[in-house]
Amino acid sequence: MPLIQQLSVEAGLKAEQDLLASVCAGELDAGVLFWQPTDRALVMPRRLSRLSGFEQASLELAASGWPILLRETGGEPVPQSASTINIALVYAPARAEGDHGRIETAYRRLCEPICDLLTELGGEASLGEIEGAFCDGRFNVNLDARKLVGTAQRWRQSQGGQRPVGLVHGALLVENERDSMVAAVNRFNQLCDLDQRCRAESHIALHEVFGAPDFFERLSASYQLILAPLLKP
C-alpha cells in the first residue's frame, strides 16, 4: 500500500474514523494514516449545519466546486483538495501518562515531528495562531510565520471504557491553492453571517518553499518512533 492513500474527502474522513474504531476495539494499538483527497470539499463541524444560512451556502458552494461535508471534530470550515495531505495519528496513551495534559500532549506528538523536519530543511517553524488564517488555532504548524498545517482532535473510550483513545489530525497544504480555498471559506462565512474573514497571504504551501520529495516518508518514520513505546510488546 502506498504511504499516502488517494481517497475522496468523504472516504478519507471515514478512513480516519475506521482507524479510530479499530484502536478502540483493541484490533490495533495505534496507527498513522496519510491521505490526499481526489476531490474538493469544504469540511466543517456538524454544529455549523444549524446556521440559518447553511442551506443556501451548501447550494452555492457546491455549484462553485466546494461541496460541504460535515465532520465529527470541532473547529471551523477547512477546505480539502488534492493540494492538501492529511495526517491522522491514532493511539491510546500509556496509563502512566494519566489524563492531565492529554490534549496538549497529543497535539505535540503530531506537530513536533513536522516542526523538526521543517527546521531541518531550513525553514522557521512555530506553533500558534496566525491572524487571517482559516480554522485558526493554538496548535497550527506555521512555516515562516504563515499557517502550513491546521490541527484538530477527537477522543473516545475504548471498548469497555478502560482507556481513552485519541485521533489527532493535521491538514497540511502542499500546493498553492490558497486563493480559491480562502474564497470558499469567506463565502460560507458571509452567507451564514459569520464575522471571520480569512486572507490567502496568512497561509503557505510546503512546495512554495521546499521541494522536499521525501518529506512524508521522513515524517512517517518519526511517527513510528513516537508510537513504538505505546505498542504492546
Q: Does the pLDDT value for residue 233 go beyond 70?
A: no
% of the chain exceeding 70 in pLDDT = 99
pLDDT in tens, 193-211: 999 999 999 999 999 999 9
Q: Does the pLDDT value for residue 103 go beyond 80?
A: yes
Helix-helix angle 178-191:54-63, to 10 degrees = 150
* Grid coordinates of 159: 471498548
* CB-based burial label for 233 (10 Å; 0-12, 13-18, 19+): exposed
Torsion of CA 91, 205, 43, 7, to 10 degrees: -70
CB 109 within 8 A of CB 196: no
Q: Is 65 left (phi over 0), alpha (psi -120 to 50) or beta?
A: left
pLDDT in tens, 71-81: 877 778 999 99
Spatial separation of the C-alpha atoms in residues 61 and 193, rounded to whole Å: 15
Phi, psi of 59, rounded to the nearest 5 degrees:
-65, -45
User: Closest by alpha carbon to 22, among 91, 102, 106, 110?
Assistant: 91
* Grid coordinates of 187: 463565502
Q: Does the pLDDT value for residue 230 go beyond 80?
A: yes
pLDDT in tens, 144-197: 999 999 999 999 988 777 789 999 999 999 999 999 999 999 999 999 999 999
